[in-house]
């Protein structure tokens, strides 16, 4: 029996797919098992095909695979959509009482379990619980202690009252017993071992929200957009407990300007959006940089251009974040490569923004943002969070930064490019900030020397950061190998898993969380025999950057159909590319 189990629930949007999936994922995580979830959702609220997949193992899991062991099919289409991934031990749970399933037969070489989900749910107190009946059935098939599911139901429905919780537990039990009674032999087809490990289960958007609060962010303004909305939903209701506030702005133009206003007033401040929203924010992005305001702008990428495929995966905005906006604008771009790193890089983004007084793009791709993963809780150790507010000056320090007329030099030209920062309310620090080119006092100028001095000063921050910060990459695989695979964003986990399928092909993998400033890969690229850059876009935007930096041609593996890389598939592509 494999311990590595792939389970899915699929149906129409509106069928409660995501919450059912999450209940089971949480039960597994609480039972000390690793979990990796992925969602396939269409951009509509009702109808269409939606699925929630859960991969679970006692070992760490970092990606999806092409195999489905247990499937709850709420619609017949769910089975069709997953035919390729079914195998002879796959168990399909469906409700033959539903008219659409009346002629249904489970595909050859799979095990179909026809369970009257709806009527059992009614017995337990309401048809709405049919998904929970199905989860009970899954427990029976996988020999998973139903008590663990009960705990999850307590957590999910606890605030709705005792009787709702009890009804749901009863629904699960009816499903469980139905399998034991009617399908003896199929029960215990799989065995999901439990352990004493304590894990937490969260997705990238949640990790970003949690990182923001940990970093002392107290103001957030945003406008809803898939797949960034979860960041706002996470912060709403939580940030208030830490003296913060969330505003749902009227649009992205307003969101970034509100965030800018709060940042000028001294708050650690953030906005989050996805590609189209970044387009709208571009004008103000330049103002943030020119006025030297610390601001974190999160871009949860989805498939573009234009409205593109809003619920699908892509890493297509790298060029926009690197080069977007009119004029030349110093900015940092951080791209966490795992859910846990979303937390750490968010904290870092706030520190960098304040230390260097510039806009920091923090970017996750859709897959990472919506994918839940298990971690040891100490991966999110709050005691390790450090806050560095940079050159934020108080009343006493201000005099060192005043000119002979006691005017505060908010844009003082310094060797490291970083000026002092005084927030409104600080006595003696009065100054104006503007998007116009300005002198050290912030006053408009078109003086050629001052212009050059200020541009150089702002750009110097990047050089300073390159000297002082550790813009490194992560390395794994065979570190002596001549073949080099480079990746950014959520592909890391898939590549780690793909290594297992590469047989005798040795590769060294670099996963790069810093897009700008970024580690210098010249040496690595020049000394490798073959180099391939893996990314979820059509043109290879990161590969272009590497070619530009290293003056070497690199190979590319690109995927832009909206679907995540899968480990086994990717391994094949890497083999083909490197051995070609």
Partner 1 sequence: MSSENVRFTDFKSDKQPTWCPGCGDFGTMNGMMKALAETGNTPDDTFVVAGIGCSGKIGTYMRSYALHGVHGRALPVGTGAKLANPDLEVMVAGGDGDGYSIGVGHFIHAVRRNVDITYVVMDNRIYGLTKGQASPTSRSDFETSTTPEGPKQPPVNPLALAMSAGGSFIAQSFSSDALRHTEIVKEAIEHDGFSLVNTFSPCVTFNDVDTYDYFRDSLVDLSEEDDYDRHDYDQAKDAILDADKEYMGVLYQDENSTPYHEAHGVTENMAEIPDGAPDGATDLVREFY
Q: Which of 66, 240, 472, 572 binds partner 1 (CB under 8 A)?
A: 240
Q: Which of 23, 121, 146, 287 binds partner 1 (CB under 8 A)?
A: 287
**Residue 125 Rama label (left phi>0; alpha psi -120 to 50; beta):** left
Contacts of partner 1 in 93-112 (CB under 8 A): none
Of 262, 433, 459, the C-alpha closest to 356 is 459
Asked whether position 430 contacts partner 1 by CB under 8 A, the answer is yes
Angle at 261 between CA 399 and CA 274, to 5 degrees: 135
Q: Does residue 433 belong to the site contacting partner 1 (CB under 8 A)?
A: yes
**Is 383 an interacting residue with respect to partner 1 (CB under 8 A)?**
yes
* Binding window for partner 1 (CB under 8 A); candidates: 90-98, 253-261, 555-563, 569-577: 253-261
Q: 182, 283, 482, 569: which one contacts partner 1 (CB under 8 A)? A: 283
196 binds partner 1 (CB under 8 A): no
Residue with Cβ nearer partner 1 (11 or 204): 204
CA angle (327 as vertex; 321, 331 as ends), nearest 5: 40
Helix (H) or strand (E) run with residue 487 in it: strand 483-487
Q: Whose Cβ is closer to partner 1: residue 141's or residue 263's?
A: 263
Q: How far is CA 270 from the centre of its chain?
A: 16
Q: Which is nearer to partner 1, 263 or 366 (CB)?
A: 263
Pick the binder of partner 1 from 101, 157, 199, 471 (CB under 8 A): 199
202 binds partner 1 (CB under 8 A): yes
Q: Per rule CB under 8 A, is residue 402 in the interface with partner 1?
A: no
Cα–Cα dist 382/45, whole Å: 37
Question: Which of 560, 300, 291 lies closest to 410 in space, CA to CA?
Answer: 291
Site size toward partner 1 (CB under 8 A) is 72
Backbone torsions φ then ψ of 236, nearest 5 degrees: -60, 125
Residues 6+ positions from 277 with CB-CB distance below 8 Å: 223, 225, 228, 252, 255, 299
Q: Smallest distance, Å, CB 224 to partner 1?
A: 15
Task: For residue 255, state whether it binds partner 1 (rule: CB under 8 A).
Answer: yes
Q: Which helix (H) or strand (E) element contains residue 51?
A: strand 47-57
Instruction: Concatenate the DSSP letters of all residues of 235-278 into one string.
Output: HTTTGGGGT-EEEE-SSHHHHHHHHHHHHHTT-EEEEEE-HHHH
Distance, in Å, from the CA atom of 293 to the CA atom of 286, rounded to the nearest integer, reads 10
Q: Is 173 in the site for partner 1 (CB under 8 A)?
A: no
Taking a C-beta distance cutoff of 8 angstroms, is the pair 375, 342 a contact?
no
Region of 32 please: left (phi>0), alpha (psi -120 to 50) or beta. Answer: left
CA torsion sign for 498, 499, 501, 502 is: positive
Site for partner 1 in 501-520 (CB under 8 A): none
Residue 242 sits in the site that holds partner 1 (CB under 8 A): yes
Q: Which is nearer to partner 1, 414 or 433 (CB)?
A: 433
Contact map string, positions 342 to 381, toward partner 1, x by CB under 8 A: -----------------------------------x--x-
Q: Is 269 in the site for partner 1 (CB under 8 A)?
A: yes
The footprint of partner 1 on residues 436-475 (CB under 8 A) is 436, 443-444
Strand partners of residue 34: 57
- Give me the least distance between CB of 154 and partner 1, in Å please: 13
Among 35, 221, 278, 418, binds partner 1 (CB under 8 A): 221
Please report whether residue 241 would count as binding partner 1 according to CB under 8 A: yes
**Residue from the set 400, 432, 452, 538 that interacts with partner 1 by CB under 8 A:** 432
């Amino acid at each position: 029996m494999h311990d590595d189990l792939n389970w899915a629930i699929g149906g129409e949007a509106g069928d409660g797919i995501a919450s059912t999936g999450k209940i089971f994922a949480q039960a597994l995580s609480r039972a000390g098992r690793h979990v990796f979830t992925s969602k396939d959702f269409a951009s509509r609220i009702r109808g269409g095909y939606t699925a929630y997949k859960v991969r679970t193992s006692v070992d760490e899991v970092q990606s999806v695979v092409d195999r489905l062991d247990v499937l709850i099919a709420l619609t017949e289409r769910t089975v069709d959509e997953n035919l390729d991934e079914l195998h002879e031990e796959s168990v399909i749970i469906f409700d033959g009482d539903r008219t659409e399933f009346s002629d249904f037969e489970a595909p050859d070489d799979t095990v179909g379990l026809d369970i009257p989900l709806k009527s059992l749910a009614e017995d337990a107190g309401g048809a709405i619980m049919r998904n929970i009946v199905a989860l009970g059935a899954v427990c029976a098939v996988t020999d998973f202690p139903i008590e663990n599911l009960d705990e999850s139901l307590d957590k999910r429905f606890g605030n709705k009252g005792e009787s709702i919780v009890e009804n749901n537990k009863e629904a699960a039990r009816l499903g469980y017993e139905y399998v034991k009674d009617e399908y003896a032999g199929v029960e215990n087809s799989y065995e999901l071992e439990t352990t004493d490990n304590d894990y937490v289960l969260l997705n990238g958007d949640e990790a970003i929200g949690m990182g923001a609060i940990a970093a002392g962010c107290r103001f957030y303004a945003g406008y809803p957009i898939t797949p960034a909305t979860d960041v706002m939903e996470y912060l709403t209701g939580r940030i208030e407990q830490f003296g913060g506030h969330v505003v749902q702005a009227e649009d992205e133009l307003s969101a970034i300007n509100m965030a800018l206003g709060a940042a000028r007033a001294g708050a650690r401040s953030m906005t989050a959006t996805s590609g189209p929203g970044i387009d709208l924010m571009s004008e103000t992005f330049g103002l943030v940089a020119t006025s030297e305001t610390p601001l974190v702008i999160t871009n949860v990428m989805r498939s573009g251009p234009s409205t593109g495929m809003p619920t699908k995966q892509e890493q297509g905005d790298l060029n926009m974040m690197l080069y977007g906006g009119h004029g030349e604008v110093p900015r940092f771009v951080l791209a966490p490569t795992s859910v846990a790193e979303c937390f750490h890089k968010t904290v870092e983004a706030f520190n960098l923004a304040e230390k260097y007084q510039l806009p920091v793009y923090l970017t996750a791709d859709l897959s990472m943002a919506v994918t839940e993963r298990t971690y040891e809780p100490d991966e999110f150790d709050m005691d390790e969070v450090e806050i560095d507010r940079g050159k934020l000056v108080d009343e006493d320090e201000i005099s060192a930064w005043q000119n002979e007329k006691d005017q505060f030099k908010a844009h003082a030209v310094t060797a490291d490019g970083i000026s002092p920062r005084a927030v409104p309310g600080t006595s003696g620090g009065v100054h104006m900030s503007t998007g116009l080119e300005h002198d050290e006092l912030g006053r408009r100028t078109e003086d050629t020397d001052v212009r050059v001095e200020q541009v150089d000063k702002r750009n110097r921050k990047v050089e300073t950061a390159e000297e002082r910060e550790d813009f490194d990459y992560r390395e794994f695989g065979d570190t002596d190998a001549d073949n080099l695979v480079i990746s950014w964003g959520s592909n890391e986990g898939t590549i780690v898993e793909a290594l297992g399928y590469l047989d005798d092909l040795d590769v060294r993998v670099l996963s790069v969380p810093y897009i700008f400033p970024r580690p210098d890969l010249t040496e690595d690229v020049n000394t490798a025999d073959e180099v391939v850059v893996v990314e979820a876009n059509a043109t290879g935007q990161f590969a272009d950057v590497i070619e530009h930096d290293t003056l070497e041609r690199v190979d590319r593996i690109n995927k832009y159909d909206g679907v995540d890389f899968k480990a086994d598939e990717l391994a094949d592509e890497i083999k083909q590319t490197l051995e070609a």
